[in-house]
Structures are given as C-alpha cells and as structure tokens.
Amino acid sequence: MSLFTDLSIPQLNISYKQPLGLFINNKYVASSDKKTIETVNPATNTPITSFYAASEADVGTAVAAAREAYETVWSKTSAEHRGALISNLGKLIVENKELLAAIETLDSGKPYYTNALGDLDQISQLTTYYAGGADKYSKGQMIPVNNDKYAYTVKAPYGVVAQIVPWNYPLAMASWKMQGALAAGNTIVIKPAENTSLSLLFFAQLFEKAGFPPGVVNVLPGLGAVTGSSLASHIDVDKIAFTGSTAVGQKVMALAATSNLKAVTLECGGKSPGVVFADANLDEAVKWTAAGIYYNSGQNCTANSRLLVQESIYDEFLAKFTRHVQEEWTFGFNSDPFDKSCTVGPVISKAQYDRVRGYIEHGKTQEKLSVKHMGTDPQNDGFFITPTVFTEVPAESKLFQEEIFGPVAVLQKFKDYDEAIALANNTTYGLASAVFTEDIRKANFFARDIKAGTVWINSSNDEEISVPFGGFKMSGIGRELGESGMDAYTQTKAVHVNISKL
C-alpha cells in the first residue's frame, strides 16, 4: 500500500493528497507489520480509505525517536524558539483551515460550516496562545530562605509524552494536548482515534513545514488495544495524557501505574446537568441547553444531557425547547454535513449508532419513559439519529445515570434549590455543569455547591482556551487549556543554594 492516496471532496471542489503512513522522525512510514485500518464516512457508511496501524514495535521506534530528539535537540531549544516554531505552526493552520476542516467533516461527519470550521478557529486561537506562552508560563520561583541560603524552583518538562485523543474532536483534542506540551518543552508521541485518524495524519506534516526537528512530534494511528496500550505501558514514556471514556481511562491509568508509574492526565466521561430555575431567561436557557446537548450530535463529554427544570416552568420550557430544536437542529439538505443548513451530523460509527439506539429503545420499552423525537431519521445509510428528549426521567433511570454520547437528552423537574443541587450531583461524573438564573446569589451558590470541574452560568459548552478545563470524580484527573495546559506537562524541581561560610 502507498504512503499517500488522492482524495476528493466534491461538495467543496477540493482534491488533496492524504497521508496514510505513521509519522515518525518527520517522515511518513509504513507500519512494521503492514497492518491497516479502514476508515468510513459516517454520513454515507462508505469506505474512505485505509491507513497503516502502528504495532507495538512501531511504538518503540516512535518513543525512541522522541527520546533522541528530546535529549539531543529539544531540551536544549530555548523557550523563545519553541514559541516561534509554534507560531509558524499557527500560520500554517490558518493557511490550511478549509482543508483541515473538510477532512474532519469527511472522516467524522461533523457539519462543516457549523462545527468543523469552528473547531479550526479554536485550534488557531489556542496555537497562538501557546506560542506566546512558551517563554512566559514555565517560570519558576525564587525563595529567600535565610541570610545564608536561598532556593529556587524550575518547571522542568517531563521529557517524552504520550497522548491519546478521541474521535469526537480529532484535531481540537489533539491540539489541546500537543501545543501545550510542546510549549512546555516536551517531545510527543500521539495516537489519534482509529476511526478519525485522517485529519491528524495530514496535520502532522505541518510540524515539519513549521521547522520542528525530527522526532519532536510523532503521530501513530492504530488500535487502542495495541497502540494505546503500548504507549500507556511503555517504560520510556514519562507522562501520558488521555481523553476518552472513563472505562478506557481506568485501563490507561492502570497500565501507567504498573509500568513505570508515569504521570497521568485523564479527561473522561460526563453526564453534565443543565439546571433551569424559574427566574431564568427562558428563551436563552432553551437556546443554550439545546446547543449543549445537540451540538456535535451530542458527542460531547460536557454535553448537558440531564436537563433539570423547576416545576413551575417545566411545561413551558419543554414546549419552547421542542419548538426550537425542530426549527434549528436539522440534518440539512440530503443529510449532507457539507450542506450549509446542516447542524446535526451523524454519530461516528455503526457501533455508536447501535449503542445510542439501544439507549433509546431501552428508555421506551424497558423503562416505559415518555419520549419526543424532534424530527425524522433520514432514509439513507448514514448513522443519523434525530434529536431526542425523554421527559420526567427518574434519577435512578439508566438514561439519567449513564453517558449516552449521542443526541439524547433526559428532562426532570425539581421543586427548589436543594432538590436541584441534589439531582445535579447525583452522578459518578463531574466534568461540567450549567445553571440558568437571573439571581446572582443563586448562581454563585450553585457554583459553590456543584461537584464539577466547569460551571457555566447562563451559558453552556462555551469553552475558552485561556480557562482551565477538567473534571471531578470519575470525569478525570488534571487540567488542560490556559496556563494549566503547560503546567500539566511540567514537574517542579527544587534547587537549594547554600552561600554561607563555614
């Protein structure tokens, strides 16, 4: 199989050369065992192409390349120069924005105009942020101990960092990790999700074009059980960062612990509440909560999939929510994610389609819950699921407790603040939350009492690249974005200096 193939996206009149090989030492190479993975367009259920899948031996090769680059070049590269290279990368991202977004849409099914282009805007902003932060956020501290001694701290990079990213935001989640780790002075071996590897494989060559030395960035597509497990257990990987399900995150943490006790950052699942009080601006609450669950087809770890509404406005909220979703959240013309009117794309795969449909059928037939389908599933071979909401769902319901990861919301009413916060915290997850109220005291009480890493007040799912992001409880460990996005990739070294005369 060739290391490149010609692909076209006729909706945008785009033709380009897609890399298919592993990216190691600034070169695309075949996998050592020549095994491949086929990737499928989820909007049509048709194959796009196949690419090479990294073996355990390939992981060893990439980690060795990253180690060599770190020890001989990257650890000796000034923070200012690292920032300049990241700035070069940012310019290339802008130049290739439309193509990168198109590859994302082709491979993941996310709507091009309303999702994919927005992802690239955030990636561009984030890259500029870390280009500027490379020589500013890695500063240590001087500590005057006494007249004869002082100490200082150094924020030292870990060295070789492994990163594993999910399929719901292939380039965005990769960039959340890569740019901060590079700015902090680490080298990288990163694994994209096996069903959305194309955009990161194309993206890899931009690092070489930006001037990054060979081995600093290595991209290894492959199966989680092979490539991911090998990275998590590799004895010469100093740190691993993972975004994905809680179940897989637990496995990554176990492998890290039983290998070399490598440092771990985990961003895992969520079942975020969106709490709407009676004094909220109802139209705004409807708009934000609909976006919070149906954007990206509900495939968001932070999706406000549990909507808790005060009982006095419950019926009004449901009526407005239903009408808004029916008008604004559609599959577009011919259920094509490249159509400008498309706001809901397919879910990622047949497996995910069956999983989400399984939850819907369970809610209908096993729990006998009331359900509203706010549209009709298109009659094609793609993995489209119409926006759905279950009403008056009890807290013990499987649909209330488990992460569905699709365009399915559950709606429950509450009487007062105490019941609202109890319901909101009634989950093993703690990634994000949203509250809608015009009462500033109530909003701040909620922010204090909710057990979640992110709280949105009168909005939902509007991340900012300068603000830390991460979860409580089983939603993960550590933080990304902002200064935390560099701190996560450094460890503190303390230096004691004795200036006394004996």
**Angle ∠(451,457,458) on CA atoms, nearest 5:** 140
Same domain? For 233 and 283 the reply is: no
pLDDT per residue as tens, the chain (502 positions): 899 999 999 999 999 999 999 999 999 999 999 999 999 999 999 999 999 999 999 999 999 999 999 999 999 999 999 999 999 999 999 999 999 999 999 999 999 999 999 999 999 999 999 999 999 987 889 999 999 999 999 999 999 999 999 999 999 999 999 999 999 999 999 999 999 999 999 999 999 999 999 999 999 999 999 999 999 999 999 999 999 999 999 999 999 999 999 999 999 999 999 999 999 999 999 999 999 999 999 999 999 999 999 999 999 999 999 999 999 999 988 899 999 999 999 999 999 999 999 999 999 999 999 999 998 888 889 999 999 999 999 999 999 999 999 999 999 999 999 999 999 999 999 999 999 999 999 999 999 999 999 999 999 999 999 999 999 999 999 999 999 999 999 999 999 999 998 7
Which one is catalytic: 104, 194, 267, 403? 267
Task: Enumerate helices (H) and strands (E) in the chain, giving the number of each.
Answer: 15, 24
Whether 267 is catalytic? yes
Helix (H) or strand (E) holding 369: none
Asked if 180 and 173 touch (Cβ cutoff 8 Å), the reply is no
* Amino acid making up residue 178: M
Output DSSP code: residue 114: I
For residues 401 and 432, state if they share a domain: yes
pTM confidence score = 0.96
Classify residue 195 as left (phi > 0), alpha (psi -120 to 50) or beta. Answer: alpha
| Cβ atoms of 292 and 258 closer than 8 Å | no
User: In one letter, which amino acid is 279?
Assistant: D
- Position 222 scores a pLDDT of 98
pLDDT for position 403? 97
The answer as to whether 421 is a domain residue is yes
**Same structural domain, 433 and 482:** no
Question: Distance between CA atoms of 152 and 168, rounded to whole angstroms?
Answer: 42
What single-letter amino acid sits at 51? F
Domain for residue 469, yes or no?
A: no
Tokens of 380: 């094609």
Identify the H or E element spanning 296.
none
Whether residue 354 sits in one domain with residue 252: no
CA 256 vs CA 38, 260, 266: distances in Å: 29, 6, 12
Q: Has residue 363 been placed in a domain? A: yes
Q: Tell me the three state secondary structure of residue 459.
A: coil
Specify the number of domains making up the chain. 2
pLDDT at residue 501 in the model: 86
Cβ atoms within 10 Å, residue 145: 11
The answer to whether the beta carbons of residues 183 and 137 sit under 8 Å apart is yes
- What is the DSSP-derived secondary structure letter of residue 315? H
Q: In this structure, what CATH number is given to the domain that contains residue 33?
A: 3.40.605.10
Three-state DSSP class for residue 316: helix
The CATH number that applies at residue 396 is: 3.40.309.10
Residue-level length of the chain: 502
Q: Examine residue 502 and state whether it is found in any structural domain, yes or no.
A: no
Structural domain harbouring 418: 273-464
State residue 13's pLDDT score.
97
Q: Are residues 263 and 320 in the same domain?
A: no
Q: Do 488 and 427 fall within a single domain?
A: no
Claim to verify: residue 241 and residue 331 sit in the same structural domain: no
Backbone angles phi, psi at 361, to 5 degrees: -65, -35
Are 196 and 329 part of one and the same domain? Answer: no
Contact 493, 154 (CB under 8 A): yes
Q: Are residues 285 and 182 in the same domain?
A: no
CA triple 73-77-80, angle to 5 deg:
160
Whether residues 115 and 195 share a domain: the answer is yes
